[in-house]
Amino acid sequence: MRMLDTFLTEGPTAVPVAVVRFVAEQLGIDDEHFAEYGTRSQTAYEHAWEIRDEYGYRDFAVGEAELREFLAARVWSSLEGPRALFDRAVVRLVNHRVLLPGVTTPARMVATVRQEENDRPHAALYEAVPYDLRTEMIRLLEVPEKKRVSELERLRLGSMRVSGKAMELALDRAREVRGLGAGAVDVGRVPAARMSGLARYGLTSKAPTLKRLEVTRQTATLLATVRHLETATVDDALDLLHALTATKLLAKAERMGNDAKLKALPQLRKAASPINAR
pLDDT per residue, tens digit, the chain (278 aa), is: 888 888 887 777 788 889 888 988 998 888 887 878 778 878 888 888 999 999 999 999 999 999 999 999 999 988 899 999 999 999 999 999 999 998 999 999 999 999 999 899 999 999 999 999 999 999 999 998 888 889 999 898 877 777 778 888 889 999 999 999 999 999 998 999 899 999 999 999 999 999 999 999 999 999 999 999 999 999 988 888 888 777 765 555 555 555 555 555 565 555 555 555 55
Provide CB contacts within 8 A for 93, sequence distance 6+.
5, 60, 63, 67, 99, 100, 106
CA angle 35, 11, 53 (to 5 degrees): 110
d(CA 163, CA 67): 57
Q: What is the pLDDT of residue 251?
A: 52
Going by C-alpha positions, the residue among 125, 126, 155, 127 that lies closest to residue 139 is 155
How far from chain centre, in Å, is Cα 26? 53
Query: Left (φ > 0), alpha (ψ -120 to 50) or beta: where does 214 sit?
Result: beta
Beta carbons of 143 and 154 less than 8 angstroms apart: no
DSSP 3-state of 98:
strand
Give the helix ranges, DSSP H, for 143-214.
Answer: 151-156, 164-179, 192-204, 207-211
